[in-house]
């Protein structure tokens, strides 16, 4: 089974969020979720986009998906079905991208193959990261019939 990749701008420095994320990452066995942190350049979206672009190129042939407030809204079951359909049908590596506090640079917006929203609400990007990791774990449990989702 193909692994999933998550590129995030900035580091997760909050010990509580790190501990929560680590709990979910330990539970995620297959597909494996790889988190790639790239340097934040605060208000300079072009520099952040360059960092993300370098990481995408390092990963290889990719199917990039933006996590963005203007992305498609789906519930957890639809996300699970969509994610596992991508894993089964796409030849590229599935890569989700969380931008920095100012969003995504134009270069990355243009490269994205899809956009997904975690909620119509706006979250700090570091909290969005933990929420997304939990949703990947939830998607895996839904796909496998595990009772976690209930």
Q: What's the CA gap between 28 and 83, in Å, rounded?
A: 14
- Whether 40 has a binding-site annotation, put simply, is no
Taking the CA atoms of the chain, what radius of gyration do you get in angstroms?
15
CB atoms within 10 A of CB 124: 11
Largest CA distance in the chain: 43
Q: What's the CA gap between 38 and 53, in Å, rounded?
A: 10
- Whether 99 has a binding-site annotation, put simply, is yes
Under 8 Å CB-to-CB from 150, ≥6 apart: which residues?
Answer: none
- Whether 145 has a binding-site annotation, put simply, is no
Residue 55 has which token pair?
Answer: 């990481």
- Whether 67 has a binding-site annotation, put simply, is yes
- Whether 121 has a binding-site annotation, put simply, is yes
- Whether 141 has a binding-site annotation, put simply, is no
Q: What's the CA gap between 74 and 100, in Å, rounded?
A: 22
Residues flagged as binding site: 67, 99, 118-123
Residues flagged as binding site for S-adenosyl-L-methionine: 67, 99, 118-123
């Amino acid at each position: 089974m193909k692994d999933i990749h998550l590129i995030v701008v900035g580091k997760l420095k909050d010990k509580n969020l790190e501990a929560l994320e680590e709990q979910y990452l330990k539970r995620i066995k297959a597909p494996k979720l790889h988190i790639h942190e790239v340097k934040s350049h605060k208000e300079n979206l072009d520099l952040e986009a360059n960092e993300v672009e370098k990481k995408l190129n390092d990963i290889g042939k990719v199917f990039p998906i933006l996590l963005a407030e203007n992305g498609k809204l789906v519930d957890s079951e639809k996300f699970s079905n969509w994610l596992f359909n991508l894993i089964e049908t796409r030849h590229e590596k599935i890569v989700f991208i969380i931008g920095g506090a100012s969003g995504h640079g134009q270069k990355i917006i243009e490269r994205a193959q899809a956009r997904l929203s975690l909620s119509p609400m706006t979250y700090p990007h570091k909290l969005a990261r933990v929420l997304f990791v939990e949703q990947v774990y939830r998607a895996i449990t839904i796909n496998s019939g595990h009772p976690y989702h209930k």
